[in-house]
Amino acid sequence: MKYIAEPFKIKVVEPLRMTTAEERREAMERAYFNGFALRAEEVYIDLQTDSGTGAMTNTQWAAIMVGDESYSGARSYYHLMKVAEDLFGYAYNQPVHQGRAAEKVVFPVLTKPGQYWLSNTFFDTTRGHVGLAGGRPVDLVCPEGLDTSTYADFKGDADVEAMERFIVEHGVDQIAGIVMTITNNTVGGQPVSVGNLRAVRALADQYGLLVILDAARFAENAMFVKQREAEFADSTIEQITRESFAQADLFIMSAKKDAIVNMGGMIGVRDNEEIVGKLKSNVIAFEGYLTYGGLAGRDLEALAVGLREALDEDYLRYRLGQGQYLGARLEKAGVPFQNPVGGHGVFVDAGKLLPHIPWQQFPGHALAVELYLEAGIRSCDIGSLLMDRDPVTHEPQQAPAEFTRLAIPRRVYTQAHLDVVADALEAIAARADQVPGYEITWEPPVLRHFTAHLRPVKP
């Protein structure tokens, strides 16, 4: 697998501090073996998230200077509206400050207490906001999605038949709607085919249900569609985006991913005045006046530019190529991962790499700690540590897979950085049986992975 060279040159750099193994051990102990509590300065290569960590273009930085900071009716707001209408084809577009703000605004308006929301898989904040709105989130990903060793083109797809069975079994009144996450973050940044989105639309029409796109990584998804879904081989990314959004009634978006801004989000409503009216009240209460939605004028301006630039095929080919390069190196080293590699990074199958660590001792987290100790690389667990306890019984819950996520920030790291990551994982794989599991010594009642204290379990 050849590395696809960067389709940009570098004008500004941010120096990184190198650390010694001893410094890293001390830092991890001080952080109670939780990467979230490290200082970023103690990290060499930060693969914790691709959210808000991308490098903006010179055009986006220039847009920051022309941002209009008027409280209402800012020029930057109208710029963003024009871009969003052109790209997504929805009548109503609303800026908000990030993805979970969109969730907080939207779900209470569309959820009756106790209703189910079905999804190809919820991201954790989306799952949280469905719950806060009194709804019940249900993940129904296609069976290939959870089989990490076998290749499939669209592992992010929903299991549409299982969705229909669920609707019939529980009665359509008990269903609030369907959320399609593109790309499907939790199962490994896996793409969703337009064919699957159309099938979900047809199902929703049959039962009179709403469809919401959680579209944080819409451009990466569209690039995968172009590469893997024959019907779209000659389509532009813009055409695929339009066709994807045409299958939904609303979208919510964290713009910190594909739109490559450090802060921002959006809501869109295709054509429903009643819903728009209710959303507006929540936006004003939670986010701010409608024409800024919790963002500064300069953020709106950078977002308007970023949304368009996100569709550049040379950039997207390079972007997806980075993860695929890292995946190819790991494959050679015998490190198991979700195959194929997703859009925003590589999800290492820590459950398979560290079979001696039971899920109750968090293999995904254990590998994340080890990677930091080995080479100063920060990653995170997408496994049984991230799964909170059962809200009723308080028993720990086993995740469907124990991943260590290597999320790749956009346009930030080079091929040599990725080689450092691959070398570190190769070294760990060679002594995998010596990597300890972890136990929690303190945890909060919910969202424990952010703040829990842990310690290694003595073998």
Q: Does 338 bind ligand F0G (CB under 6 A)?
A: no
* 220: CB partners within 8 A, 6+ apart: 183, 189, 191, 258, 316, 319, 320, 343, 344
Q: Do 33 and 438 meet the contact criterion of CB atoms below 8 Å apart?
A: yes
Q: Does 379 bind ligand F0G (CB under 6 A)?
A: no
Maximal CA-CA distance, the chain: 62
* Residue from the set 19, 80, 96, 100 that interacts with ligand F0G by CB under 6 A: 100
Binding window for ligand F0G (CB under 6 A); candidates: 25-33, 92-100, 202-210, 287-295? 92-100
Q: Measured from the CB of residue 117, what is the shortest distance to ligand F0G in angstroms? A: 13
Hunting for tokens 């925003």 — which residue is that? 344
Give the rounded distance of the alpha carbon of 183 from its chain centre. 7
Binding window for ligand F0G (CB under 6 A); candidates: 94-102, 295-303, 313-321, 447-455? 94-102
Q: Does 221 bind ligand F0G (CB under 6 A)?
A: no
Q: Measured from the CB of residue 438, what is the shortest distance to ligand F0G in angstroms? A: 21
Q: Measured from the CB of residue 327, what is the shortest distance to ligand F0G in angstroms? A: 18
Q: Cα–Cα distances in Å, from 343 out to 190, 212, 240, 258?
A: 7, 21, 16, 10
End-to-end CA distance of the chain: 39
* Residue from the set 128, 191, 265, 268 that interacts with ligand F0G by CB under 6 A: 265
DSSP secondary structure of 34-92: -GGGS-GGG-SEE-S-SSS-PPPPHHHHHHHHH----SSS-HHHHHHHHHHHHHH--SE
Q: Does 365 bind ligand F0G (CB under 6 A)?
A: no
Q: Measured from the CB of residue 128, what is the shortest distance to ligand F0G in angstroms? A: 10
Q: Which of 251, 438, 381, 408 is nearest to 320 (CA)?
A: 408
User: In angstroms, rounded to a whole number, what is the distance separating the alpha carbons of residues 229 and 158?
Assistant: 16
* Residue from the set 33, 44, 116, 123 that interacts with ligand F0G by CB under 6 A: 123
Residues 43-82 that bind ligand F0G (CB under 6 A): 49, 51
57/254 with CB nearer ligand F0G: 254
Q: Does 99 bind ligand F0G (CB under 6 A)?
A: yes
Q: Does 404 bind ligand F0G (CB under 6 A)?
A: no
Q: Does 95 bind ligand F0G (CB under 6 A)?
A: no
- Active site positions, annotated: 71, 123-124, 214, 216, 257, 449
Binding-site string for ligand F0G from residue 196 to residue 215, where x marks contact by CB under 6 A and - marks none:
------------------x-
Residues 162-181 that bind ligand F0G (CB under 6 A): 181
Tokens of 104: 């907080």
DSSP secondary structure of 423-440: HHHHHHHHTGGG---EEE
* Residue from the set 129, 155, 256, 298 that interacts with ligand F0G by CB under 6 A: 256
Q: Measured from the CB of residue 103, what is the shortest distance to ligand F0G in angstroms? A: 7
Q: Which of 197, 300, 274 is nearest to 242 (CA)?
A: 197
* 24: CB partners within 8 A, 6+ apart: 42, 372, 373, 376
Residues 225-254 that bind ligand F0G (CB under 6 A): 254
Q: Measured from the CB of residue 6, what is the shortest distance to ligand F0G in angstroms? A: 23
DSSP 200: H
Which residues of the chain form contacts with ligand F0G (CB under 6 A)? Answer: 49, 51, 98-100, 123, 125-126, 181, 185, 214, 216, 254, 256, 265
